[in-house]
Chains A and B, each alone.
Chain A
Amino acid sequence: MAAGNTNVIRPSGAEKRSGAANGDIVRLDGAEKHFGAVRALAGVDFHVVSGECVGLVGHNGAGKSTLMHMVAGTLTPDSGAIRVHGGIEESYSVSRARQLGIRCVFQELSLCPNLSVAENTRINHASLSGFGWRRKAAELIAAKLDEIFPDHGISAWDIVGDLSIGRRQMVEVARAFTVTQDRLDLVILDEPTSSLDAHTSGQLLAFVRRFVAGGKSCILISHVLGEVLRNADRIVVMRDGKMVASDAAGAFDRDRLVTVMGGAEARQKVAAAAAAKPEARPLRVRARPAGQTDGKELVACAGEIIGLAGLAGHGQTDLLLRIFDAAARAKAGIEVTAPVALVAGDRQSDGIFPQWSIAENIGIRSLARLRNGLLISPQREAELAAFWQKKIGIRTPDMNNNIFSLSGGNQQKALFARALGSDAQIVLMDDPMRGVDIGTKLEVYDLVREEAAKGRTFLWYTTETEELDNCDHIHVFKNGRIVANLTRDELTEEKIIQSSFGDAA
């Protein structure tokens, strides 16, 4: 069993380095970083000692990623010093970081989809070569997967491209914890549970606790504040490129965290805020999942917000895409009576046009309405962009800037503006809040409710149970089928978990 790997005694080299006694694995002093005119980090002092799990929270654009890139060696600070195991690092780099036992699981997956799980493991271990390397790599990754996710069901010879996104994330995480020749002291996990369901997230976080208990360290970045509160020993809060709080996890609760992060105030459940809506509303969508055998179906009327719940990847996105397709050409089993727009959750692959400005990215769904005669009117396009910049709060000096000049949360807002600015009466949301900061989330929730009150229909797939509070009806999915229909009043986390894990085969 490879579990022993996490408990290996630190190589003797560490003791020789001065200052190792104080237990610092990594320490940054006065780290600063500018990207053009933007100050991403403004003199941050940050450290991790061995045997602790540091939770790192903050809105998108608060500087968390920049800070982590420095720790991982992918970015060099403009000024400030970095010490690892007590020794100053003059020319710090990714390979140096790996040598020193620091690894990072980045948010964007870094697996090669065309290679097998074992081959992907080989990529991170130069020493896995020579005769029998394939067997060694397979054993290494299989043992680590068994250790972290005991019921993972992944074979070392599966091609990564064939795996679901959740399983890919499991491989990615497990790979970061494999040990060959290099030491392993600190693993940075950047949103490690964003594609995992509750069950596997729990397994991973339990493993992180075991890993830390074995004297190693972790930095955990997550927008799910509960995860951080429950699993971190110390929580560091960042805001506007500065560290605004660093304290034992016990000193925080959810409300205090949200306050320190500087988002809109934490608020209570939107308890049945919507007034009783008029009864007879026109039907907008009637759809039955492909594999549905009983009579259950999804029905949405004008002005309704319908939640699609359940574990990640159980057919919610498939149904949304089928509804999207049915709007363009008729499909059996699906009825759509109004124009449809989709807000993508996976921004990079499903949403963003990387070469275009923010305004162009918003306008693409509404080109027909932006025309003046045959030609698209630049003025109308700018007006549309300006209207939504104000309405949804896209933080940029100029909507003609490239879309990538925005932080992740603001890019997501632009995608919302694209859908809401269009003529679509039905808006499909494919888990759009994945990895978005809480401030943006709250703003968008308000907007969605406002638009629904005006008569728009929302079909909202989400992996975050608290978002379902905004929905009028919730359909729980399992294995591609609807297994439960809940109204908002009936909604509890337990009910959803029950349905998701139930034996409704």
Chain B
Amino acid sequence: MASLKTLLARPWIWSFVGALLVWLATIAFTGGYGAGGMVTAALSLAVFTVIVGVGQMFVITLGPGNVDLSLPANIGLASAVAMKVMGGSDSMIVIGLLAALACGAAIGAINYLLIWALRIPPIIATLSASFIIQSVDISYGRGLQIKPPPGFADFTNWQVLGIPVLAILTVLFTVGAAIALQRMIYGRSVLAIGQNIRAAWLAGVNVGRIRFLTYTLSGALGGLDGALLAGYFRGANVDIGNEYLLASIAVVVIGGTSVAGGKANVPGVWGAALFLVLLLTMLNTFGVSAGVRLLLTGLIIVGVITAAGGEKAVR
């Protein structure tokens, strides 16, 4: 009983409960039809939100005002870069992935360079950067119709016993992220900066380097996500990352990470990502119109945060 209580006291548990409820509501509607397939599909799609969500989580944990708005543009550009480098050839998959990672990391580094050199709020820096990246992508990716190498497309869609392999790998990645957060100097430093940046500096934390690493990490994860998305959806596309701006922020916060910084939650990112994906599936299954779907999505986000709220946040 006591362990159940401590479990329920953890903020991230609610995102999983929400995901479960949405799933149950949907299979109740379909009469149980497609219950398993829905989980498989949800896991496949949630992966992409989780990967950028973890990067966004580290950024948001750096404290008030820290957020990476350049993720959608980053994902778009990296997807194009990955497809171009791979050039449809299986032998180039690893090189292409590395190119996408490098492209994303470079974007992240530039983001921090702007924040540091211009001393502007990250919201504005990453926003300005995203305008530029978007143009580079439009120009670079114009008419780009390269399909992913068959091996890569198969890999991103590969399932074992109905469980996407990519999801398993992502679970391993998130476990690593959770360990890095709590047990490594990097994670501790991020948490310290998020609570009080000045105190962190005075306690010997190398604030500049940690922030640089965090924005670079977020960028690199965006780049990786772009490559994987291009593989999964069989092609790059300027708009491929658009939904991940709001989604990456939403999963971080619904997952129990404090927007005020200094407190992060990795499992919650998974729960929230599954919740959002299943929610869309549910609304599609119910066959509602686009307007109603948006309306309900919004209301549910507000409702969830209201129910889970009450946490002290600077904003």
Which A residues are closer than 8 A to B by beta carbons? 324, 328, 341-342, 344, 349-356, 360, 364-365, 367-368, 371, 374-376, 378, 418, 422
Contact = CB atoms under 8 A, between A and B. Distances in A.
B71 interface: no
Contact of A355 (B184, B185, B189, B262): B262
B274 to A, nearest CB: 27
A364 B263 contact: no
B196 interface: yes
Q: Report, nearest first, the 4 A-B pairs whose CB atoms are least far apart.
A: A375-B183, A353-B195, A367-B185, A364-B203
Contacts of B262: 353-355
Nearest to B258: A355
Contacts of A349: 196, 198-199
B192 A350 contact: no
B203 A376 contact: no
A344 B201 CA distance: 11
Interface of B: 179, 183-185, 188-189, 191-192, 195-196, 198-200, 202-206, 262-263
A422 B205 CA distance: 13
Contact of B199 (A324, A328, A344, A371): A344
B196 A374 contact: no
Given A350-B198, A356-B195, 17 more contacts: A328-B206, A344-B199, A349-B196, A350-B199, A353-B191, A353-B195, A354-B195, A355-B191, A364-B188, A364-B200, A364-B204, A367-B188, A367-B189, A371-B185, A374-B184, A376-B184, A378-B183
A365 B200 CA distance: 9
A341 B201 CA distance: 11
Contacts of A375: 179, 183-184
A376 B183 CA distance: 5
A351 B198 CA distance: 8
B200 to A, nearest CB: 8
Nearest to B187: A376
The dominant DSSP class at the B interface is helix
A350 B203 CA distance: 9
A226 to B, nearest CB: 31
Contacts of A354: 195-196, 262
A341 B203 CA distance: 7
B188 A376 contact: yes
19 contacts: A324-B202, A341-B204, A349-B196, A349-B198, A349-B199, A351-B202, A352-B196, A353-B192, A353-B195, A354-B262, A364-B188, A364-B192, A364-B200, A364-B203, A365-B204, A371-B185, A376-B183, A376-B184, A378-B183
Nearest to A353: B195
A366 B227 CA distance: 39
Contact of B195 (A355, A368, A418): A355
A374 B184 CA distance: 7
A397 B308 CA distance: 31
Contacts of A341: 204
B198 A365 contact: no
A376 B196 CA distance: 21
A344 B196 CA distance: 13
Nearest to B183: A375
Nearest to A419: B203
Contact of B263 (A344, A355, A371): A355
A456 to B, nearest CB: 16
Nearest to A340: B204
Contacts of B200: 353, 364
A350 B202 contact: yes
A156 to B, nearest CB: 30
Contacts of A350: 198-199, 202
Contacts of A360: 188
A413 B192 CA distance: 19
Contacts of A353: 191-192, 195-196, 199-200, 262
B189 to A, nearest CB: 8
Contacts of B185: 367-368, 371, 376
B10 to A, nearest CB: 15
Contacts of A352: 196, 199
Contacts of A324: 202
Nearest to A418: B203
B39 to A, nearest CB: 33
B7 to A, nearest CB: 19
B303 to A, nearest CB: 27
A364 B203 CA distance: 7
A216 B205 CA distance: 50
Contacts of A374: 184
